[in-house]
Structure 1
Amino acid sequence: MHNNQVQIFDLKGNFVRMIGWNETIKAAKGVKVTDIQVIFADFEGSRVLVYDLNGNLIQIISGEFNQPTDIVIVSNKIFVVNYKGKKASVFKN
């Protein structure tokens, strides 16, 4: 059972905020945090969600994935690895 959210804590372990609740995340995987964004794959929802550091939704990327599991950012490109189909999807960040 999943709880449809990503919880954010500070470096001391104190709860800061929860994101993804409104978007009904099914299973968050492959979380990537940059200086300006939090990006993660929704494995069972077959999509990628992008938030700013304040927890505001910036973008939902869908239609290209088949159970995404991992995310890597290189040179302003987001590489998303899909569990099914054994392929990677690439997007400009």
Structure 2
Amino acid sequence: MHPLFRSLRDEVPSIPVDLDGEPMIAREQDTVASFLLRTVDPDRYRQSVVSAQSHAPLCMMGVCFECLVEIDGQKNQQGCLVRVRSGMRIKRQIPEG
């Protein structure tokens, strides 16, 4: 777990989500971006499909568009603006191959 984001409260309800096909546990107050920053290496948050350069959230308020992920089948969603919810399917935008 990466220490970029951590809860200020000790006990936060957990909810199940799916990340890249794997079951994971998020915290109820997480945004998709904060969940990913706590869970995966920031260099693996997403990659450019053109250059394969790593990208990760920068502003956390919906201005920079560096937090784009696929949520429940919809690509290019701003992860910093979407709260996780039970059963959510999240896919990082990492080119295959």
- Shared fold, TM over 0.5: no
Structure with greater helix share of residues: 2
TM-score (norm 1): 0.31
More strand by share: 1
